[in-house]
Chain A
Amino acid sequence: MKKLKRKRGGIFNFSDYKSLKARILYLLVIILLVIIFIISIFPPLWLLLSSFKETDQVLTKNFSLFPKSIELIRIVEVWNQFDFGRYYLNSFLLVAGAVISSILFNGLLAYGVAVIKPKGSHVIDLLVMSTLMIPAIINISPLYMNIVNLFNSLGDIFNTNVWNIPYFTYLPLWLIYGANAYYYILFRIYFAKIPKTIFDAAKIDGANNWQIFRYILVPLSIPIISVVGIFTIIAAWSDFLLPSLMTQINQSEQPIMVKLYNMFVNQTAQVTFQERLMTIMFSIIPPIILFVIFQKRIAENVATTGLKE
């Protein structure tokens, strides 16, 4: 109640809450938000608990949230049986490369267009921006054909089957994050706000473009770099279409999302109910941990950039 008495600003303030009607309304709003809060966290919570249940306890008409017993050993069993450690490692590898490529290449492009501004850069800006909303899946076959042609000709040059080189197929999966209009625009808006005098001073001191980028722009841009980094982590972790195409040849290089996708879409997959639930669980735990750690920064960043992932 004390908090309400101090509330200033907003549609209702402390003076409105002197009336009982407004206070009841406030209580109703809180109740409504509690309900929405439950709806938000209930599905992942259900998943977490259900992956410990027997099949008939999940497929029952009498709902119960909690499993009869929680045997942590089960997690270990399924983990080992499906070799999830390997898929996790693959996912981490995919994410790491994607983050580096996404920050480096989109950052450099934005730096070029927003700060150096070489002649004709506004045309590049327009070209990049016009593809802002085109999802990769629309061009999936020509894109894939291009990669195949490139790899096959690389194979001819080096006289080897490049598809068999371990994790070579991850190259396009990483580099594609370096061509993302969304991350580009985030960088560009941020860079444009940095006072031009800083760059001019560096130039007078004899710094070249790369040095300015590396030693001046990057330290000044930690907030936006972390935003793009987090967005890329989530996107790369969730990605499954192109990774699925690229890792078919060496299925042991599949990231966990491809594993999950195959499990649900492939009609001949032989997986038990519990193994399915546990796979989903394994696939959502790392991003949620990431969120819990960085939630404050994420909230601030979304607010300042006005864009979400």
Chain B
Amino acid sequence: MQNPFSNSRKFMKKNMGGYLLILPSLLLFTFFVWLPLLKNVQLSFYDITNYTMDGTFVGFDNYKAIFNNPLFLRSLFNTLQYIFWSLIIGFMVPIFLAVLLSEIVHFKGLFRTGLNIPNFIPGIAAMAIWVYFFRSEQSGVLNSLLNNLGISQVNWLYSPPWSAIPLIVLTMTWKSAGATMLIYLAVLQTIDESYYEAARIEGANAWQRMRIVTFPTLLTNIKTLLILQIIAVFQVFYEPLLLTKQNPYSYSLLQILYKTAIQDMEVSEGAAMGVVVALFLFILTFIYLKVTSTNEGKVRKR
């Protein structure tokens, strides 16, 4: 048996040294992430007049208030729509693009570069450009293009009323699809040609080869990226802010949160909204971590 004291001393040394090194980072995480999260919870139970921390404890009043606020409920409902459309558009497009790109042998590099450019345009700048494209007037870029083709104008973001959300998701997809595609593309390139060969020998046609070989390979990444997609959609903020301003049909959760907390200076109600959104995101993050860790496990077993 070893001397427990020398052992613990060695442990101390190892631990102390390690902690000293990560201490600055931990301080930063505490200050910028954990403390604000906790303080948000605290603020949400108080009635705070302004940005000082004086206020009275009011229990769940702020939560009652926000769930009585039709616009907040509306933005919750809108978030469901954002999720729905992003599953249809934002999620499928990159997979589709990756499969196409993995199949071609001409101009591959050019396509890969071009499709990736939007991802490097800063978010609000990208949306500011789309504002001009989606203008409802004849002089909007898309409408003037249609006009040149002899097609009458379209009220892109407002007609029918629900059309804003799919179009906003489309612009988000325009921006990010190239980058997501790269991930799928990398996975597709790991598929050994012998798998396809084997399928071919068994008499599988193109569609069957895709179903048997291509999709199963992508499946792990699909699961991960699906959850990331949903989480990203919860954070829609400047897209509707610029494209549709405060239109109730596309008003997002973070838009109302920002308006309440910063513009109206209703700190405590803003905090309550923040807690509600954070709860959703925690649950989703938890699922994400679960999914990815089982993936890691599988890889190790292999």
Contacts and interface: CB of A to CB of B under 8 A. Distances in A.
A in complex with B? yes
B147 interface: yes
Classify chain B's interface size. Answer: 35 or more
A44 B206 contact: no
A36 B97 contact: yes
Contact of B122 (A3, A16, A140, A284): A284
Contacts of B107: 30, 33
B210 A40 contact: no
| Dominant SS among interface residues on chain B | helix
A264 B275 CA distance: 29
A265 B262 CA distance: 14
Given A43-B133, A303-B186, A306-B183, A178 B25 contact: yes
Chain A at the B interface: SS class? helix
Interface residues on A, range: 35 or more
Contact of B115 (A36, A129, A137, A261): A36
Interface in B114-136: 114-126, 128-133
Contact of B237 (A6, A137, A260, A290): A137
Nearest to A119: B15
Given A39-B174, A108-B24, A260 B103 contact: no
Interface stretch (A77-85, A160-168, A219-227, A233-241): A233-241
Given A7-B105, A61-B143, 15 more contacts: A11-B196, A40-B115, A108-B25, A116-B14, A128-B29, A133-B284, A138-B254, A138-B274, A141-B261, A146-B39, A172-B32, A178-B24, A209-B21, A238-B124, A284-B122
Interface of B: 11, 14-22, 24-26, 28-29, 31-37, 39-40, 43, 51, 53, 97, 99-107, 110-126, 128-133, 137-139, 141, 143-145, 147-148, 174, 176, 178-180, 182-183, 185-186, 189, 191-193, 196, 200, 206, 209-210, 213-214, 221, 224, 231, 235, 237-238, 241-242, 254, 257-258, 261-262, 267, 270-271, 274, 277-278, 281-282, 284-286, 288-289
Interface of A: 3-4, 6-13, 15-16, 26, 29-30, 32-33, 36-37, 39-41, 43-44, 46-47, 50, 58-63, 105-106, 108-109, 111-113, 116-121, 124, 127-146, 148, 172, 175-176, 178-179, 181, 208-210, 213, 234, 237-238, 240-241, 245, 257, 260-261, 264-265, 276, 280, 283-284, 287-288, 290-291, 295, 298-299, 302-304, 306-309
